[in-house]
């Protein structure tokens, strides 16, 4: 059985229905529905071949070529679908809900699957994603100088039942010049937006949503403008952690990273640090003086953060003094303060 379904109905289904994306691996890598599986009807090269035939010869010849290319693959497609959805309920889509997804839906239905065919395909989903950023949320910004442990505090708030969006986690980057941690690989901009929209979809809009204070870019990824504007207009709770405690925290986070990586990242911000401070920072890295290295670069990052904070309305800024970077304790301080505000 094949049932046409739109993206809103698909997301509202009570029981999770696995989604398979039959576009090419290249299309899937560029961006896909959050949680979807890729069973490509064509390889990247085959899709180019079919597209060229469609343009130069015609639709019917392109269809015949498509069947020639996939003829021996169909049993494999069905086996992959069975691995993904052993209960034989599955959703299928391609770019616009056209021939690729239609062919896959037909084959799976013939085998006995209940198939939900996504109308409008991935193109329609992308429209849904962009529209999601226009929704209004009760955003609460968590601020603080570098080394305050804001991301860990976010997780502490989440553990207490608060709604949290971890932008750095979604972007796979910790925001600074050193933010990849020499390990994380960022998703494409498109996939970053898809993953973010999927998390926003599950929020209660009337309840607070905690988001870390970020610049509009996280590594090479941009926060969508509608959400960014809401973040800039939201109230900011700034946790004030003493400098020495922040240095201690950052040494524990970055001190064990490869020295070559740290030096390379430091050299990228030499114009902001200045030649003398850059030289001193790299020397400290070479000599294993991580405390000195962190202290040097914090001068730049603290100045940058304070400049950004100064552009907000003073009445929208709440400051909470924290003795150290203990995430659980600081999350409790924030919740206590929020309770006082509403009581």
Domain definitions of the chain by residue range = 2-130, 136-342
Please report the pLDDT score of residue 338 as a whole number. Answer: 79
Contacts of 315 (CB under 8 A, 6+ apart): none
What dotted CATH number matches 2-130? Answer: 3.40.250.10
Among residues 22, 81, 94, 139, which one is catalytic?
94
Query: Do 231 and 313 contact (CB within 8 A), yes or no?
Result: no
Please report the pLDDT score of residue 14 as a whole number. Answer: 60
> Given this structure, which CATH class describes domain 136-342?
alpha beta
Distance separating alpha carbons of residues 88 and 111, to the nearest angstrom: 9
Closest to 213 in 3D by CA, of 319, 342, 332: 319
Distance separating alpha carbons of residues 203 and 187, to the nearest angstrom: 22
Three-class SS of 199-227: HHCCCCCCCEEEEECCCCEECCEECCHHH
Contacts of 107 (CB under 8 A, 6+ apart): 74, 77, 78
Please report the pLDDT score of residue 255 as a whole number. Answer: 87
Closest to 188 in 3D by CA, of 222, 161, 157: 222
Distance separating alpha carbons of residues 146 and 176, to the nearest angstrom: 9
Query: Do 129 and 193 contact (CB within 8 A), yes or no?
Result: yes
Contacts of 201 (CB under 8 A, 6+ apart): 11, 132
Please report the pLDDT score of residue 163 as a whole number. Answer: 98
Distance separating alpha carbons of residues 171 and 196, to the nearest angstrom: 9
Which residues, given as ranges, of the chain have pLDDT below 50? none
Please report the pLDDT score of residue 13 as a whole number. Answer: 77
Please report the pLDDT score of residue 12 as a whole number. Answer: 81
Clarify whether 265 is annotated catalytic: no
């Amino acid at each position: 059985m094949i049932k046409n379904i739109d993206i809103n109905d698909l997301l509202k289904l009570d029981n999770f229905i696995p989604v398979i994306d039959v576009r090419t691996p290249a299309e899937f890598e560029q961006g896909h529905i959050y949680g979807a599986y890729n069973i490509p009807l064509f390889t990247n090269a085959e899709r180019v071949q079919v597209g060229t035939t469609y343009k130069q010869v015609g639709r019917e010849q392109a269809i015949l070529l498509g069947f020639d290319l996939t003829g021996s693959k169909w049993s494999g497609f069905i086996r992959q679908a069975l691995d993904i959805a052993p209960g034989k309920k599955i959703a299928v889509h391609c770019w616009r809900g056209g021939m690729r997804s239609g062919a896959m839906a037909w084959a799976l239905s013939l085998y006995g699957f209940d198939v939900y065919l996504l109308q409008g395909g991935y193109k329609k989903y992308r429209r849904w994603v962009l529209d999601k950023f226009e929704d209004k949320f009760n955003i609460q910004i968590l601020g603080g100088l570098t080394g305050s442990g804001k991301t860990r505090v976010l997780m502490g708030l989440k553990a207490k039942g608060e709604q949290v969006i971890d932008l750095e986690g979604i972007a796979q980057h910790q925001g600074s010049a050193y933010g990849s941690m020499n390990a994380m690989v960022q998703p494409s901009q498109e996939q970053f937006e898809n993953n973010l929209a999927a998390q926003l979809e599950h929020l209660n809009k009337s309840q607070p949503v905690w988001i870390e204070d970020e610049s509009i870019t996280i590594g090479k990824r941009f926060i969508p403008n509608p959400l960014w504007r809401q973040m800039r207009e939201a109230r900011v709770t700034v946790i004030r952690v003493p400098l020495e405690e922040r240095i201690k925290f950052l040494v524990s986070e970055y001190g064990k990273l490869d020295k070559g990586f740290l030096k390379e990242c430091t050299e990228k911000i030499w114009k902001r640090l200045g030649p003398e401070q850059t030289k001193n920072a790299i020397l400290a890295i070479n000599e294993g003086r991580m405390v000195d290295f962190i202290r040097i670069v914090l001068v730049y990052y603290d100045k940058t953060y304070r400049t950004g904070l100064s552009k907000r309305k003073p009445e929208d800024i709440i400051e909470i003094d924290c003795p150290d970077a203990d995430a659980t304790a600081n999350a409790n301080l924030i919740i206590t303060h929020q309770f006082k505000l509403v009581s």
